Each structure stands twice: as C-alpha cells, then as structure tokens.
C-alpha cells in the first residue's frame, strides 16, 4: 500500500516514469473492462487512453482511502459509457426505450463454457443490452444507479437487463448444443 502511495505522489509531481509504471500496473486489467463495453479492440484502446488521461488529470482527487484500482476502474467504466454515447455506431443501440416485455424464464442453465466463450457471447449482445448487463451483472451497479448513469428510466434498465439475460441464456444453450455436437462428432 505504501508503494502505491509513493507511486501516486510521484505521478502527482509529473514524473513520467511513475506515470508509466502506474499505467503498466493497471492497463491490462482496465483494457479488459473497456473491451467489455466496446465492439472492437481499437475502440477499447481509445477508451483506455481517454480513461488514463482522466486518471492522471484527476489523480489529485483520489483520497487514498479506497483501493486505487477500484477508483481507476470507475473512471474506465465512465469513460466507456461516454465513448458509447459519443460515437454514432453505438448511439443507435443505446437508444433504450420501454417496450412491452415477453415472459422471460428464470431458469439458470448449468452450462460448462470457458471464460472466452462467455465473454464472446456477452460481446455479441446489442450495445445497449451489453452495456446494461456489464454494469449490473459484472460491475455490480444496482438498477437505480444504472438508470442515473445512463440517464434512462429505472424500468427500462430492468427490462433491458432481463432481455440481455434471456438472450444470454438462449446463446449459452445454443453454444452448449454446438459444443456437445463437436464433442460427439469424433465418435461418429
């Protein structure tokens, strides 16, 4: 913890080596966070860059009471949301409207998939669903917090999250079928 304090102090003094060290310490994890919200690695890298600019310009606001990584993570999530709202290819998907819901099953499929397969399935969701799913299920925000972050109705958040879950369950079941088919194909 003391090494982080010294690193922060050096960054606040504008020492490039310290900034580089802080970047290298957190960039791989934060790139993963940015990548969850965007549809390409290039977009995620842009968000990461913007996020670290904010980190370095606002580092004086970090009160050192909580975990530095959590503070940086929040900046990256906010930077991701800002990026999605600014870029036309994401804007259309983020126009979340309340539409009548169909019944959604609460079944929890017991599916064995590797992490990459699950991440790929989440990334295939429409941007709006993907964003809300990431904020609620992965980042741990509640529906009210998400509604404030995205400036949308809390019921819209609930319905979009339910739809995202339903789409994921369907995709996971389909993926399980494909995986099982490939597994048994060798027996034929």
Show the domain range for 11: 2-86
In a shared domain, residues 119 and 79 = no
CA distance 179 to 82: 37
Give me the pLDDT at residue 1, please: 58
Please indicate, yes or no, whether residues 128 and 178 belong to a single structural domain of this protein: yes
3-state helix, strand, coil in the chain (%, to 5): 75, 0, 25
Per-residue model confidence as pLDDT tens digits over 162-186: 999 999 888 888 876 555 444 444 4
Checking if the pLDDT of 16 tops 70, the result is yes
Residue 104, domain member (yes or no): no
81 and 133 co-located in one domain? no
Query: Is the confidence at residue 187, as pLDDT, over 50?
Result: no
Domain count, the chain: 2
In CATH, what number is assigned to the domain containing residue 31? 1.10.1740.10
Using the predicted structure, report yes or no on whether residue 114 has a pLDDT greater than 90: no
What are 93-108's pLDDT values in tens digits?
A: 544 443 333 333 344 4
- Report CA torsion sign: 27, 32, 36, 38: positive
> Domain for residue 163, yes or no?
yes
Which parts of 38-153 fold into alpha helices (H)?
41-58, 68-86, 88-94, 115-123, 127-133, 143-150
Q: Is residue 110 pLDDT above 80, yes or no?
A: no
The stretch 44-55 carries a mean pLDDT of 95
Q: At how many degrees (to 10) do helices 68-86 and 16-37 cross?
A: 50
Boundary (domain end) residue, out of 86, 103, 138: 86
């Amino acid at each position: 913890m003391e090494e982080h304090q010294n690193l922060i102090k050096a960054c606040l003094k504008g020492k490039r080596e310290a900034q580089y060290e802080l970047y290298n310490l957190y960039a791989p994890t934060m790139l993963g966070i940015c990548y969850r919200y965007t549809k390409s690695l290039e977009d995620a890298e842009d968000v990461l860059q913007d996020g670290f600019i904010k980190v370095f310009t606002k580092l004086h606001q970090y009160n050192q009471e909580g975990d530095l990584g959590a503070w940086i993570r929040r900046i990256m999530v906010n930077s991701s949301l800002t990026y999605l709202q600014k870029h036309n290819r994401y804007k259309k998907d983020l126009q979340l409207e309340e539409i009548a819901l169909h019944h959604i099953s609460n079944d929890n499929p017991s599916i064995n998939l590797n992490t990459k397969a699950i991440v790929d399935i989440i990334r295939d969701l429409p941007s709006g669903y993907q964003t809300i799913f990431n904020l609620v299920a992965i980042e741990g925000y509640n529906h009210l917090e998400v509604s404030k972050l995205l400036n949308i109705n809390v019921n819209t958040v609930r319905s979009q999250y339910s739809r995202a879950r339903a789409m994921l369950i369907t995709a996971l079941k389909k993926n399980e079928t494909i995986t099982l088919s490939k597994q048994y194909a060798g027996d034929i």
